[in-house]
Copies of this chain bind each other. A is one copy, B any other.
Amino acid sequence: MHHEEIKKTVLAALKEDIGAGDITTTLVVGSSHKSKGVILTREDVVLCGMAFAHEVFSLLDPKMEFMAHFKDGDKVKKGASLITLNGKTRAILTGERVALNFLSYLSAIATRTHFFTEAVKPYPVKILDTRKTTPCARPIERYAVRCGGGVNHRFNLHDMVLLKDNHRVISREKEKLSETVRRLHIKTHKKIEIEVDHLWELEEVLKAHPEMVLLDNMTPLELKKAVVMTRKCCPNKPPLLEASGGITLENVKKIAATGVDRISVGSLTHSRKAIDMTLELMG
């Protein structure tokens, strides 16, 4: 993300959290009082959000020293100090919550993504995110996924053709699937992916020559069969196979073992358990 975008997002977050002024800090701490502060993580974490934390404190005290001990994407152990601050106490106390919110929210996504990418490490498979992101926060959530080693799926509906179940219900009314795909290839330069919900649909789909096939909610056994069928049917340039639906940390390795090329995991972004972090003031 461009620095101006980060600044705009952080300003909005600060405005939301400060409202008409941080009355506690203003009334209790002198405007020239200075302190040292340290931000620590209380859990193992794949770090994400440092630029946001930096911006928070720079906006509140342009002279704040911000010493980053790690960078986005680093694996950090529980108890480690992430950032040392040196500057106006008011800025440290007023910015604390917003900075921690960015760090613990984004690191939660990066860390969760990392668990998935670690789990499938032995296999040449990619872990992808989905469009199940918090409304209006997709760019930063997608960035966190990348920090965790994941790969971004299409960013929006303009990025790629994905013929889902519902689209196929409609298009089936007028033409064969291979007709539809041929027509699409002429009208757009985007890649085409087709969703398949049942193994018996796969053959027809493969004949339409999409660049990718989305295998939705299939068991490892079905996925395995789909891989075999695909290799047999398109030996030269087989479409990429993406497994999707109900993927968990428990079953992801088994799914990776089926030979699919990509696994997309909604819970990378739609669910989260914020990382526990804290700011300690050194007086």
Contact = CB atoms under 8 A, between A and B. Distances in A.
A280 B197 CA distance: 14
A119 to B, nearest CB: 19
Interface residues of A, number: 95
Given A13-B136, A16-B136, A237-B237, A28 B170 contact: yes
Interface string A245-283: 000000000000000000000110011111000011101
Interface in A123-160: 126, 131-139, 142, 151, 153-160
A236 B236 CA distance: 10
Contact of A272 (B28, B102, B272): B272
Nearest to A242: B189
Most chain B beta-carbon contacts within 10 A, residue among A105, A131, A135, A191: A135
A236 B235 CA distance: 13
A24 B131 contact: no
A281 B191 contact: no
Interface string A96-115: 11101110110010000000
Given A4-B59, A27-B184, A189-B153, A158 B105 contact: no
A166 interface: yes
A81 to B, nearest CB: 16
Given A167-B28, A283-B169, A158 B20 contact: yes
A48 to B, nearest CB: 13
A244 to B, nearest CB: 13
12 contacts: A9-B136, A17-B156, A18-B157, A19-B156, A25-B157, A101-B133, A104-B132, A137-B137, A166-B280, A170-B283, A189-B240, A266-B274
Given A23-B158, A27-B188, A93-B170, 13 more contacts: A13-B135, A19-B159, A23-B188, A24-B162, A25-B167, A35-B170, A134-B134, A155-B158, A166-B279, A166-B280, A189-B193, A189-B211, A237-B237
Q: Closest 10 CB pairs between A and B?
A: A19-B158, A19-B156, A270-B274, A13-B135, A22-B157, A166-B281, A20-B155, A271-B273, A20-B158, A28-B171
